[in-house]
Amino acid sequence: MRTLVWLLRALLFFTLFAFALNNSHEATVRWFFGHEWRAPQVIIVLLAFGFGAAFGVLAMVPAWWRHRRAAQRVEPLPGAPQSTPEVPAAPYAAHQDGV
């Protein structure tokens, strides 16, 4: 299974590497008021992807905080232990009744 995962990672890497090599020609990004930026096309595409991913993560932060605060306010059920039980030493504890 590990070999398959590494083969998939290598395939992804070489696919992205080939994408970068095939899109290395110069491209121009035209901003407002006549400003323009020239860079290899692959750099422009990767920066656009990176900024989009960062914007998406930052857009989710308020919802994550809201959910975290709501989870901290939830009171435990009556009769539930207040502290976490200790983990048994054995990885699997068999039932006493044989089920």
Residue with tokens 């080939």: 18
Cβ contacts of residue 82 below 8 Å, gap of 6+? 76
User: Which string of b and e fits 47-57 if b means at least 16 CB within 10 Å?
Assistant: eeeeeeeeeee
φ, ψ for residue 53 (rounded to 5)? -65, -45
**pLDDT tens figures, 41-98:** 888 888 998 999 999 999 999 999 999 888 888 877 677 666 665 666 666 555 555 5
**What residues does 39 pair with on adjacent strands?**
27
Q: Which amino acid is at 22?
A: N
pLDDT of residue 21: 82
